Amino acid sequence: MPENPPRHAENQQTLDGFFVPTLPKVRTSRGGHILEWDREKIVTQILTETKLVETFYGGEGADEELAREIALEVENRIKKLKLKSLSGPLIREILNITLLERDLTKYRNVCTRVGTPVFDAHLIDVGRGGFESHDNANLQENAETSHKKKADKISKEQYLLQLPPPELADYHLAGGDLHIHDLEYFGTRPFCQDWDLRYFFYYGLMPDGSGTKASVAGPAKRAEVAVLHAVKALGSAQTNFAGGGQGGYYNFLTFLAPYFEGLSYADIRQLMQMFVYEMTQMMVARGGQVVFSSVQLSPGVLPSGRRSPASIRARYGTVFRRRNAGMVSSSGRCGCSLRP
């Protein structure tokens, strides 16, 4: 093999004396360009992508000599096919077949594409069966749902190849031996989390976590704003957690109680009703679902809570006063009596 093999396939001379490439141009999937055939791009792809074998399986990636050998074999295969057009995905399919024939299964696993056939993607779009069509009763038949299902399919295939050892992935696929719940988010999100409302009441609300992509609200001074802060915090959490009940508040009523001081039962009931309806009418969870949430309707204030700061920065920083226990009890009765 020459030290510097040609980057392009050999050109062929026509009867008129013109030179034309022996392989058609390549339509790429990354960026949507049409480029001249270049074997070096396959070499670079093999060298770059097989490095993941070190991360996923603790093995070694391909060296340059092997990458050039495989790339040349792929080029020769494409020549024999005498294709009229080429695409990035088609070249990758031929590369993966070549890797499997050489028993380089781990290289194939990290070089393969994850996704869905056009037919399956169409079924998802039109709502006629397709991928996980009966798996989640909370999903609506809308554009956001079809987008989520396509993304879910890609993510599930990726994480089964990437995260668990192959034998554990097989247990999941076998059905029943092992189940990875919400597999589509397994590599990027924790399942769920509960929060202490006092954090938002003391520091205010920053929905995006940095204040660069959304407006920032200061600490709540009024009961209505405190309730809305609680709502918006859970709504924002939908983009960062995977599971049902992914966001919630412990001691929910206890930490709201100082805001309810001096309010009538009717006012407290209205605030609780506002919270319930806000939570069940925001279609912002994955696939256009309502917010997944849970709150603790505590019946009173524990002795330890009475010694804790109320953390209402905009009003006072004293401890919970004993009469706040009555506010907790009233809001608890309101919350339990509501129907969304």
- Strand ranges (DSSP E) for 101-249? 193-195, 247-249
Structural domain boundaries of the chain? 11-111, 118-185, 193-337
Supply the pLDDT for residue 306.
Answer: 64
Please state the separation of Cα 295 from the chain's center in Å.
24
Residue 323, pLDDT > 50, answer: no
In this structure, how many other beta carbons lie within 10 angstroms of the beta carbon of residue 318? 10
Residue 6, pLDDT > 50, answer: no
Residue 338, pLDDT > 70, answer: no
Question: Which is more confident, 219 or 315?
Answer: 219
Extract the tokens encoding 267. 């006012």
Contacts of 294 (CB under 8 A, 6+ apart): 194, 245, 247, 248
Through-space distance between the first and last CA atoms of the chain, rounded to whole angstroms: 74
Supply the pLDDT for residue 328.
Answer: 54
Amino acid at 240: N
pLDDT over 70 percentage in the chain: 77
Residue 299, pLDDT > 90, answer: no
Cα–Cα distance measured from residue 27 to residue 180, given in angstroms and rounded to the nearest whole number: 37
Q: Tell me: the pLDDT tens digits for 59-104?
A: 999 999 999 999 999 999 999 998 888 988 899 999 999 999 999 9
Strand 86-87 relative to strand 26-27, pairing? parallel
Supply the pLDDT for residue 239.
Answer: 82
Cα–Cα distance measured from residue 82 to residue 79, given in angstroms and rounded to the nearest whole number: 5
Instruction: Output the CA torsion 257→263→269→273 (10° steps).
Output: -70
**Best-predicted range by mean pLDDT (104-108, 239-243, 245-249):** 104-108
Instruction: Output the CA torsion 232→329→325→316 (10° steps).
Output: 30
3 state SS for 256-300: HHHHHCCCCHHHHHHHHHHHHHHHHHCCCECCCECCCEEECCCCC
